[in-house]
Chains A and B, each alone.
Chain A
Amino acid sequence: MAFQASPFLHPGTVSQTDRLAIVHLKRDLQLPTILRDHDEDNEGYAEGKVVNTRFGSFPHTTLIDLPWGSQVRASKVDTGSRGRRVKKRKRAGSAENSGPTKKVAKVDSEEAPIVDIAAEEAGTATPNTPAVKEETEAVAAASGFIHLLPPTPENWTSSLPHRTQVVYTPDYSYILHRIRARPGTNIIEAGAGSGSFTHASARSVFSGYANDQGVDGSPPKKQKLGKVWSFEFHEQRHEKLQKEIKDHGLEGLVQITHRDVCEDGFLVAGASPGADAVFLDLPAPWLALPNLSRSKPPPKHNGGRSKEATPTVPEDASSDTTKPWISPLNPSAPVHICTFSPCIEQVQRTVSAMRRLGWVDIEMVELSQKRFEIRRDRIGIDHSAQLGVQVSPANVDEAISRLLDVEDTFKSFHETGEKTELKKRDRPNPNNRAKILESLVGRKVYKEGNLAHRSEPEVKTHTSYLVFAVLPEEWTAKDEEEAKLRWEVKAREDSEKPKEVIGMSKRQIKRTAREAHKLKAAAKTASMPGDETREHAEGVNDNTLKGKGGVPEEACGSIKQELT
């Protein structure tokens, strides 16, 4: 396979053949599509492969080799006759006599947004279409356009084919930030689902492409290569994700395994992924947690109060001891974990399991996100029933002047019996095209009214609870011995002259100085002859402490005083 950089990580400056691009129709409506310079599915379009949308048809040939972000006009594509040839179509009647010369072929909305459907339809139903046709030049249509964007995990997340609940951008961005997924990290993701987290984490840990794909994640000499070790127990989802990863050029970066991790653990081909970070989006994360230990987990919790002083879990004779147990974690790093569960009961069981398995700094949070609608609120009665204007008085003066108007009308009706009011039909419609353009260009209504924001009507009030924890590196007595040898501690005797002390607060420094001063004074009154050295030492201490003004002092901010 020819090596190709992933369009997610190295989009380049222009769109390229056989690479993923995002066709942006409108906010929250984007179509991922892989650009092809020929129609391999043979869908029968004269222009080769075509993206059909409700805003027009876009042959791929018009999308390739364009600078990213380009606005692209729709092309005149004959969708009608193709459909007739292939299959009886619902709307054949109306589109029947529209030759390629017709201005714009109408695209019905059912067929439009999802390219895959069109592809599948055509793929299954075109056995006897002419084989390879001369592809014609695309001709620009009169209206309709899209923007062509490079793929990012964000727009992929909002456009991906949903297979399960998706981990959205606010959640995954926070999670990846918290579990320290950085370039070079090995991250385990269990419950890949629709793959949004997979793509986001691949971007986070990417630190170079692995041209030789080692299974154990052992890095080449220079730089540690980050990798996503993804697990999915649902076979179809696994297959689909596998294909996506391949199509997106992320193959060396994401290793997907079809596996139930609760039962079968996290080893890939018998080797350890060496994970530094873990993300579990599983229905029962507490069942998978024992497989994420540093040493062999017990087969079951005994439920009693265990009193071991060491974090290692005791061996149990009943478990399978034939194979040596390999930890899927990086032995020389703290491991950060995040579990993603919608229910509080799941959280409680997960946290309980974490406590028993030696995880520390356990913290649970939920994250809420809001998006805002920003628009101008236009209020007033003189806008003559324009759309988008709240027809009510903008202020008291307006209210009074309208009341006076009503008053006048009332009077004149009683005096003369005349109705001055215009009939509704006689009033000019303020909302036709000319009027609106006039109000936009002439009156600049986009500058009128008060600029205001409110949250969008649909708010995701709960996605899931996030449990974070850390499993520190295992530190044995032997390691400690070695560290002690390397960094020898010379015990400071009570009488010894003070060494440099770091981490004291200003208050403490002052107090130490005061005490030293007192001592000095006391020593002077006693006029002991041997005290000069001591004085000197204290002076030095004083200076060094003052000199350390740059050292931040924070610890004691909240603690007012020692109990004295």
Chain B
Amino acid sequence: MRAHYLVQPNCWVALRLPSDTLKVLLMVPNTIVSLGKYGTFASNDILQRPYHLTYELLDRQEGHKDSGLRIVPASEIHEDTIAEEDAASSPKSDEAIIGGDGVEYELVGEDGEVIMRSNRETIDDSARQTLTMDQIETLKREGTGAGKHLIAKLMLSHTALDQKTSFSLAKYKLLKTKKYLRRFTVLPLDVPLLLNWYLSEKDPGKIMEMRDEMMGLTGSWANVHFSQSLPDAEGGRWLVVDETGGLLVAAMAERMGILYPSEEQLQSSSGNAHHREDAPLATSNTLTMVHNNAQPNLSLLKYFLFDPATTTQPCPDHPLNSHLQAISWLQLVSPEKDTFYSTSVEQLSPEELEAFKPGKRGTYYRKLRRWQRTTSIVDTALAGGFSGIVVASSMDPTSIIRHTIPLLRGGANISIYSPTIEPLVMLVDNYSTSRRTAFITSPPDSFTSLETDQERDNWKGDEDFPLNPTLILNASVQTARVRSWQVLPGRTHPVMTGKGGAEGYLFTGVRVVPARGKVEARGKFGKKRKADEIAANGRSDMKKGKLEGEAEELAATPAATDNGDDVVDVRMASPTL
């Protein structure tokens, strides 16, 4: 764990610049890091230092190309805001202090008596800066104090500074701070950071526009956690369908404690990777990833030093090597058609091997290992018994469920993320109360002709019932969204702008094992029934229409729709109304 807390050489880190943009870099020792216009510094200056520290690029020394660094203490980061707060709490003070979580300014001075103005007098004109471009350039080049002096000069040279309200002044300062302040913060590259970087700066589409809150929700509802087998208790194995380039796998692996290599595992990266035996596949606490191409797309895992595509892996002992098992849809659904799986590599005798040239022998061993790994992964996956499934895919969720539901054990949690709600709405409709009622009342012949439970679980559905509606309980769809706020003295409000795009939705459900034979539900009812109906149909008859617990509850109290079921269908299914 400790490895995670100091900046490690040859690991990925993120640098946050004053403009709130992130720079994600591989921290190679003995190199120069460029922050663009902000300057350059030596990578060695931040290696083996803690994360979350903010540094300031010092003024370059005479003749030196790069800047040294200074750690900016937290007290200095917040100094302005604290000062502003203090000023507000003691109104006697005639200091006008401009706050805003940035830098402190020695700007207050001569006639700081104006505390609050309205914006009536403000002239909406940008040409109020008296410094010319050339002057600014000169200041930038010669500027000292990590840009603070330049910002102070800029503000003092603004002719309408005294007309600004304290709010617009704070805004102006923040604007200039973002542009000129030469500071950066070192952040560890973990799943939340990678997610936000892709969402805001890289390519939101690549990660299916998945936000933090949806990622957290997806993992929670799938009940993904560290779960190693114990002598007397079976561990957990999860299925994952990931079309986010490996982000979902990374997030689940993070929850299971298999994403970050330990310090020893990192150390061994320098060792020779060629003669290493493949780590034996783990049997619990594993992720089985089903992918739709010949190779899984896990490109984002390189930020966690896992790159199965390359021959020289950055971290050969990475826990994902044994805990992440990739299998293609073809291998899962019809393994006999997959060449890798079906072409067995025959075991050669030592004499035959002896006869090979070393190169050929190496190829043989590689082939053998790959085949052994593939068969082992495929056979384990086909044996089923998974503790849950997590999906973020552009494929139709109905088809994913159809092929994976037989592999889930009873009580397994299902969570499916989709950027848009429509595919999930269609999926839920397969589990609507009325459809389930119809299924139980008169199951299709193709289903009833199946004998064993296992065959029934594998039933591929028909036109009316694309999925067996009795295998998933509590099918529902939800979403969550955070809204960020600015908290500053006297200026607390939600932030003004945000990102649009896909809302993001989550389907959740539990795999259940329906009882064989006809099961009838029960509930209390009667209020709604008319006396003559009772006489006509008889009490026991009335009960037969009820097939689901949910149904009766709603039938009894049609107004109680707060459990999110399809009220209309329910009423239809219940004869009491």
**Smallest distance from the beta carbon of A487 to chain B beta carbons, Å?**
4
User: Which of the candidate stretches A91-99, A131-139, A177-185, A319-327 sits at the interface with the other chain?
Assistant: A177-185
Would B44 and A489 count as touching, CB distance under 8 A?
yes
13 contacts between A and B (CB under 8 A): A5-B232, A69-B410, A70-B513, A143-B522, A153-B223, A177-B192, A334-B52, A373-B566, A374-B428, A378-B568, A451-B426, A472-B50, A555-B17
Choice from A27, A72, A446 contacting B563 with Cβ under 8 Å: A27
A358 and B480 in contact, given A304-B86, A432-B537, A500-B32 (Cβ under 8 angstroms): no
Choice from A356, A457, A556, A557 contacting B78 with Cβ under 8 Å: A356
Would B575 and A178 count as touching, CB distance under 8 A?
no
**Smallest distance from the beta carbon of A37 to chain B beta carbons, Å?**
18
**Among residues 85 to 131 in chain B, which have CB atoms less than 8 Å away from a CB atom of chain A?**
85-86, 89
User: In the assembled complex, which residues on chain B have CB atoms less than 8 Å from the CB atom of A504?
Assistant: 34, 36
Tell me the bound Cα distance from A262 to B74 in angstroms.
23
Would A310 and B64 count as touching, CB distance under 8 A?
no
Query: Secondary structure at chain B's binding surface: helix, strand, loop or mixed?
Result: mixed
User: In the assembled complex, which residues on chain B have CB atoms less than 8 Å from the CB atom of A440?
Assistant: 434, 437-438, 441, 572-573
Task: Tell me whether A146 is interfacial, beta carbon within 8 Å.
Answer: yes
Would B78 and A13 count as touching, CB distance under 8 A?
no
User: How many interface contacts (CB-CB < 8 Å) are there between A and B?
Assistant: 472
A555 and B23 in contact, given A72-B515, A173-B217, A440-B572 (Cβ under 8 angstroms): yes
Would B22 and A555 count as touching, CB distance under 8 A?
yes
CB nearest to A375 among chain B residues: B566
Would A143 and B65 count as touching, CB distance under 8 A?
no
Would A13 and B409 count as touching, CB distance under 8 A?
yes
Would A364 and B549 count as touching, CB distance under 8 A?
no
Choice from B425, B464, B564 contacting A451 with Cβ under 8 Å: B425
**Smallest distance from the beta carbon of A342 to chain B beta carbons, Å?**
14
CB nearest to A434 among chain B residues: B575
Tell me the bound Cα distance from A315 to B53 in angstroms.
24
Would A12 and B234 count as touching, CB distance under 8 A?
yes
- Total interface residues on A, CB under 8 Å, equals 158
**Smallest distance from the beta carbon of B480 to chain A beta carbons, Å?**
4
Choice from A10, A74, A180, A374 contacting B566 with Cβ under 8 Å: A374
Task: Tell me whether A159 is interfacial, beta carbon within 8 Å.
Answer: no
1/0 contact string of A320-354 vs chain B (CB within 8 Å) = 00000000000011100000000010011001100
Task: Tell me whether A539 is interfacial, beta carbon within 8 Å.
Answer: no
Tell me the bound Cα distance from A470 to B227 in angstroms.
28
Tell me the bound Cα distance from A352 to B88 in angstroms.
13
Tell me the bound Cα distance from A556 to B190 in angstroms.
22
A555 and B546 in contact, given A27-B474, A368-B480 (Cβ under 8 angstroms): no
Would A332 and B522 count as touching, CB distance under 8 A?
no
Task: Tell me whether B445 is interfacial, beta carbon within 8 Å.
Answer: no
Choice from A310, A376, A465 contacting B569 with Cβ under 8 Å: A376
Task: Tell me whether B56 is interfacial, beta carbon within 8 Å.
Answer: no
Would A446 and B476 count as touching, CB distance under 8 A?
no
CB nearest to B490 among chain A residues: A348
CB nearest to B9 among chain A residues: A487
User: In the assembled complex, which residues on chain B have CB atoms less than 8 Å from the CB atom of A501?
Assistant: 31-34, 40
Tell me the bound Cα distance from A447 to B564 in angstroms.
19
Would A441 and B480 count as touching, CB distance under 8 A?
no
User: Which of the candidate stretches A121-129, A204-212, A397-405 sits at the interface with the other chain?
Assistant: A204-212
Tell me the bound Cα distance from A150 to B65 in angstroms.
63
Task: Tell me whether A40 is interfacial, beta carbon within 8 Å.
Answer: no
A152 and B73 in contact, given A351-B487, A556-B36 (Cβ under 8 angstroms): no
CB nearest to A303 among chain B residues: B86
Task: Tell me whether B395 is interfacial, beta carbon within 8 Å.
Answer: no
